[in-house]
Amino acid sequence: RVYPFALTLPSEDIQLLSNIEMRGTEHDKMKFLRISDFLGMSDQCVPSLKRAFHHATSGRYLDLPQEIREWEGDRVNGAAYLARKAVDLAAAHTQSGELSEDELSTAQSIAILRPSMVPIVNAMNEFDRQVKHEGYGQIERVKDELLKSLADE
């Protein structure tokens, strides 16, 4: 199993890594990885490790469409507007299929980008819940119902 610790080291101080040692743990080895290597790793990990990593880094390392990244950068509009836009984006970019334990749905990825905006997180959780219940063929209907409920609030 892999138990991560995040360290930010200047690239010129890479020799610092040789000074880091494990003490008082049950683990028998330590390995340093670049973030890209960690995210591409197929070794057995702690359950939902990559998902937790994306939460902790507010989605900075998620591979998302540019349209979603532009939405993330909106610092003008409020949570209500952004929640409605998030529903549109989730509907436009959600793909059918099973996700592994570490994979995030499009809606979960969107929620991670603005975790302090509760209306967005709630809308994305509800989007996922309804799509899982109704099926991927009903995404437009789920979107329309959520947008109506967000407009009524």
pLDDT score at 152: 78
pLDDT score at 42: 75
Instruction: Confirm if 146 and 123 have CB atoms less than 8 A apart.
Output: yes
**What are 142's two structure tokens?**
């789920």
Instruction: Confirm if 95 and 106 have CB atoms less than 8 A apart.
Output: yes
Fill in the amino acid letter for 50.
K
A 10 A CB-CB count for 142 gives 24
pLDDT score at 9: 67
Fill in the amino acid letter for 145.
E
pLDDT score at 57: 87
Give the integer Cα–Cα distance in Å for 34 and 6: 10
pLDDT score at 39: 86
pLDDT score at 1: 54
What's the CA dihedral at 95, 2, 36, 9 to 10 degrees?
Answer: 140
C-alpha distances in Å from residue 40, one per residue of 2, 36, 95, 103, 104: 13, 6, 21, 12, 15
Q: Please indicate, yes or no, whether the overall pTM of this predicted structure exceeds 0.85.
A: no
Q: Phi, psi at residue 23, to the nearest 5°? A: -135, 140
Give the integer Cα–Cα distance in Å for 97 and 30: 35
pLDDT score at 25: 66
Residues lower than pLDDT 50 in the chain: none
pLDDT score at 130: 95
